Amino acid sequence: MTMIARLTTRGVLGINGADRVTFLNGLVSNDVSRVAPGNAVWAALLSPQGRYLTDFFIFHDNERLLLDAPLQTVPDLLRRLSRYRLRAAVILEDLSESLHVYAAWDGVPAETPVTAPDPRLATAGYRMISAAEIAQTSSEAAYAAHRLKLGLPDGPPDLEPEKTLLLEAGFDELGGVAWDKGCYMGQELTARTKYRGLVKRRLVPVTLGSPPPPAGTPVLAAGAEIGTLRSSAGQMGLAMLRIDALDKPLLAGNALVTPNIPAWMNLPK
């Protein structure tokens, strides 16, 4: 049976108008021109200094784009995009009250007007945006465990605004950056990080011992802090860890932390 859960921690921002694609394409890390019916794109908005601000999935919906973003970041995202609108023919609107985000995995969901495979990993499943209620066969907590096992972030607290670099969070391997597109805000640092091999830490899936510590708990190796636990669900979690410490015994509080490096993740040898 296909698992389907509504994601109440996600919101929706709509972008309408003749310049919607070119406007957004000049600001975000991925190529918005690749968005099409049944094909979503995962992208991030960065600060001018190249640090993460927020990320979102971009969907095609007739004559508009729909951004599936962390609900808590939608108001700030709307303000930031409005600031860059200038004379562009675009209309920005927070649609979080009228449109809802769903995830589906372990099968193919019935088609809805706005449905696309999760563009990060085939095993992640599908994402849907719908005004009508979709019958749920699973829970938001079950989806959290599913994505954590795959090593997929879900905005804050996995990703830290004004701090996280895209390549620390898997945006390269997971298709969140288009290296062949034109300039966008924060591109210079993102490119320099890749081509100079400057990534020193990574967001990795971990198994947690008991009792599972809360998000933000420092992760220690031989008493020295080498990272922090981000989000968790039961014994599964994501932690931002120094790459050179991944093979050491790790603790967060009194819980053992065991990194589970996924096959898609490229780490220096």
Task: Identify the CA nearest to 205 among candidates 172, 234, 176, 175.
Answer: 234
DSSP category for residue 266: -
pLDDT of residue 182: 82
- Which architecture does CATH list for 166-259? Beta Barrel (2.40)
Contact in structure between 34 and 166 (CB atoms under 8 Å): no
Task: Note the pLDDT tens digit of each residue in 81-115.
Answer: 999 998 899 999 999 999 999 999 999 999 888 99
* Superfamily, domain 3-138: Probable tRNA modification gtpase trme; domain 1 (3.30.1360.120)
pLDDT of residue 198: 79
pLDDT of residue 195: 85
d(CA 21, CA 217): 40
The H or E element that residue 141 is part of is helix 140-150
pLDDT of residue 268: 79
DSSP category for residue 109: P
d(CA 13, CA 170): 24
pLDDT of residue 113: 87
Task: Identify the CA nearest to 264 among candidates 75, 118, 50, 74.
Answer: 118
Q: pLDDT tens string for the chain (269 positions)?
A: 999 999 999 999 999 999 999 999 999 999 999 999 999 999 999 999 999 999 999 999 999 999 999 999 999 999 999 999 988 999 999 999 999 999 999 999 998 889 999 999 999 999 999 999 999 999 999 999 999 999 999 999 999 999 999 999 999 999 999 999 888 999 998 999 888 877 999 999 999 998 889 999 999 999 999 999 999 998 999 999 999 999 999 999 999 999 999 999 999 76
pTM, to two decimals: 0.95
Q: Where are the domains of the chain?
A: 3-138, 166-259
